[in-house]
């Protein structure tokens, strides 16, 4: 999540069919080459079963290490987030839980580090639209985000490849901060969840595009996973609305969804659906660009008055 800071078609993969296959034939993580060799269609939705349920904790560590190597972007970005957080804590320490219930530094510290803060962005510090993706408000915040990033990132990078997830991740993170900067100018915020939600948004687009050619049990499993993931974020956003940057979440998800409509456009079954998806994707991304232009042309008005 992005935390607001107070300041002053084909058969399912073996892992999915675990109940009907011996453990020796069940594999937790499947590479893109293996998917191709097994005859899976382009755009296949990839789901995983907990490796601990297959062969125990040792197998879980083994498969996790293998996947970390096969998904370099997710592994590197997660490693970078953790290192940056450790350095942040070593420099600024912890503030009181009453000031930051995520168990981390103060809002003033994050303001110095580059948190999203509209007044300074409008003064030319546009890097504040990117840097917050790598910052996290506290221990609770980074643990929650890194868990989501690993789960979503590894499955998506396996299915899409490194270049696709990297573009969707960073563009969605940027879009989330742009939307937040315009509609929530008085909020100091940090976090990677705008980017993570962008990846989830693209997964939703892929699910819609491949719905008809995906087996019923597989697509329903994917739909439930995405639904409950989004439901949890919505509940957190409502309950903690005074501390969660919901505009960043919405902007990141919307951007990822629109990019997914374009990236997976050829996976739609009929030409009319391809056209509709393409038009919606272009219009959505054009809207985000318009928000960025209006943000600077109108100097944040009407949401920011200086």
Catalytic residues: 193, 249
What does the DSSP assignment read for 207-250?
Answer: HHHTTTTS-HHHHHHHHHHHHHHHHHHHHHHHHTTTTB-HHHHH
Nearest-angstrom CA–CA distance, 248 and 241: 12
- 185, 300 Cβ separation under 8 angstroms: yes
Nearest to 168 by CA among 262, 280, 102, 78: 262
Nearest to 159 by CA among 67, 26, 265: 67
Helices vs strands, H then E, count in the chain: 12, 2
Nearest to 195 by CA among 139, 162, 144, 153: 153
Nearest-angstrom CA–CA distance, 299 and 295: 6
Beta bridge partners of 3: 190, 244
Instruction: Supply the angle between the helices 193-209 and 216-239 in degrees, to the nearest 10.
Output: 150
Nearest-angstrom CA–CA distance, 113 and 176: 19
The DSSP symbol for 25 reads G
Exposed (0-12), middle (13-18) or buried (19+): which is 8, by Cβ within 10 Å? Answer: exposed
Beta strands in 15-149 (DSSP E): none
Beta bridge partners of 5: 188
Tokens representing residue 275 in the block: 């056209």
Residue 111: CB partners within 8 Å, gap ≥ 6? 7, 117, 188
């Amino acid at each position: 999540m992005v935390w607001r800071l107070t300041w002053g078609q084909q058969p399912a993969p073996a892992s999915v069919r675990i109940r009907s296959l011996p453990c020796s034939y069940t594999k937790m993580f499947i590479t893109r080459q293996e998917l191709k060799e097994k005859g899976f269609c382009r755009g296949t939705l990839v789901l995983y079963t907990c490796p601990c349920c297959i062969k125990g904790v040792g197998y879980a560590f083994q498969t996790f290490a293998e996947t970390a190597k096969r998904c370099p972007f997710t592994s590197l970005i997660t490693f970078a987030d953790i290192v940056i957080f450790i350095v942040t804590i070593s420099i600024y320490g912890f503030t009181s839980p009453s000031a930051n219930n995520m168990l981390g530094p103060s809002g003033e510290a994050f303001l110095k580090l580059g948190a999203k803060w509209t007044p300074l962005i409008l003064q030319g510090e546009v890097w504040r639209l990117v840097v917050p993706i790598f910052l996290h408000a506290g221990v609770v915040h980074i643990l929650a985000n890194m868990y989501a990033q690993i789960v979503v990132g590894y499955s998506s990078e396996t299915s899409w490849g490194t270049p696709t997830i990297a573009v969707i991740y960073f563009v969605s993170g940027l879009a989330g901060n742009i939307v937040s900067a315009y509609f929530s100018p008085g909020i100091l915020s940090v976090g990677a969840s705008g980017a993570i939600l962008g990846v989830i948004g693209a997964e939703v687009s892929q699910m819609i595009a491949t719905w008809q050619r995906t087996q019923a049990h597989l697509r329903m499993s994917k739909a439930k996973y995405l639904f409950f993931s989004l439901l949890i974020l919505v509940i957190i956003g409502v309950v903690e609305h005074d501390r969660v940057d919901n505009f960043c979440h919405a902007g990141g998800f919307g951007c990822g969804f629109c990019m997914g409509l374009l990236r997976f456009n050829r996976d739609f079954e009929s030409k009319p659906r391809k056209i509709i998806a393409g038009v919606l994707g272009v219009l959505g991304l054009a809207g985000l660009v318009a928000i960025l232009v209006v943000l600077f042309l109108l100097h944040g008005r009407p949401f920011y008055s200086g």
